[in-house]
Amino acid sequence: MVNNVTLNEPVKKKPKRFGEDFEAGNLSDELDSEYDDELNKYLEQRIDTESIDDSPLSFWYKNRFTYPILSQLARSIYSIPASAANVERTFSGSGIMINSGCTRLNPEQISNAMFLRPVKEMSDCIIIIFHFHMFIYFFYFEMMFIHLKYVFSSHEIK
């Protein structure tokens, strides 16, 4: 026993984030083929246009067992929590500006400040979305590269 922990206890694994192996460059051939198989399965799927729902999120939820990797990726993209927090934050910010200590601000200045705050937050969000899209772009091309590598390696001239 070391520090009240027996040596025979299995070490608990830290749960992985989606794409962690990809980002670290630790993809094994087994993972390559798993990603490749799932991507090919999805790309070859015939979708009945009559059964298409308005929500891509519902499609990925229904197909979460068929495409577990792609489903997890799509659900992380399409999941946006509904909230009125931004509206409440804007109005509380205006309440802070319009108090007895800030009596020199005219209505136009208050309006400009209320407009610029969400614009700044939006620009921060756009940068995050850009980085996420770059990750998806590289993920897609990595999957295509893996696929091409597999196709060319299986058709080598002997």
User: pLDDT, tens digit, for every residue of 47-92?
Assistant: 776 766 677 788 888 888 988 888 888 877 777 666 656 666 666 6
- Residue 38 near residue 70 (C-beta atoms within 8 A): yes
Q: DSSP assignment, residue 83?
A: -
Please indicate, yes or no, if residue 108 is contained in any of the structural domains.
yes
Q: DSSP assignment, residue 52?
A: -
Q: DSSP assignment, residue 10?
A: P
Question: Range of 135's domain?
Answer: 26-154
Please indicate, yes or no, if residue 40 is contained in any of the structural domains.
yes
pTM: 0.36
Residue 64: Cβ within 10 Å count: 14
Please indicate, yes or no, if residue 49 is contained in any of the structural domains.
yes
